[in-house]
Amino acid sequence: MYTTASPFARPLFHEAAELTDEDIQHLVETIRTRVLRLLRAHGLLTDEGQLSLDEVDEPGDLLPLFQAASIQGRVAQGPDAGAPLERLNRIAAGGSRFRPPPLCAELNGFSLHAALVPPPRTHQQTYHGVLAPSSSWRDDVVIANPASRRALSPSPEATAGAPTRPAHRYLWSELMRRVFGIDVLCCKHCRSRRRLVSLITERSVILRILAHLGLDTDPLPIQPARAPPQLELAF
């Protein structure tokens, strides 16, 4: 973490200890205690530790019941309603108890995985705190690398006449190249550098150009918002 003695002093870096399995287990215990305390405060948890969603009179009230059963790992409907479900990989081969992977912990239905798995088609790196893009301390803790910045920047011919910008802000083409490895300013046919010729914002001029090129001048219709489809229950 970074600390500073005053708003005008340079931030100082303090290295934290390496994360351990015991830290994850302790965090799971803390989360479980606070979540159960919150549920009891709102009257949603009985003394037996079960969510109080037993009184279901209408089919529309089944969704909270299913949610509660899913959280508790129990059967929601049928003759075995309320019985605990047998979880996969709970017992490993040979009858030994399943051991979670490193930096993962589980306690009575609460689980926490400290390994970061980014969702598909998103940035693989996310910066928080003083390393976030809008942090006022970022310029004081991030060391600029002029050599790498020159390598990622377009050629001088492509940026001739472009307005100046702060050193810590990247062009959209640089961001595309850094994040996705796509050089959008490079022509795929002749491999030369693209440059900005003009920027047209007037609607009448845009319509004339599209009509001259034989392209559709009508914008695509905007579909109205709709609710998600309701799955039909099988009973």
pLDDT at 180: 86
Nearest to 43 by CA among 34, 33, 53: 53
By CB atoms closer than 10 A (0-12, 13-18, 19+), residue 159 is: middle
* Three-class SS of 154-214: CCCCCCCCCCCCCCCCCCHHHHHHHHHCCCCCECCCCCCECCCCCCCCCHHHHHHHHHHCC
The pTM assigned to this predicted structure is 0.40
Q: What is the pLDDT of residues 202-221, one digit of tens each?
A: 999 999 999 999 998 888 88
**How high is the pLDDT of residue 28?**
92
- The per-residue pLDDT for 235 is 47
- Ranges in the chain, pLDDT < 70: 46-61, 86-98, 116-121, 123-124, 143-168, 228-235
Q: What is the pLDDT of residue 92?
A: 47
pLDDT of residue 97: 60
Q: What is the pLDDT of residue 98?
A: 61
Candidates 117, 163, 160, 169; CA nearest to 142 is 169
pLDDT tens sequence across 56-100? 445 556 777 777 777 777 787 788 877 777 665 555 445 556 677
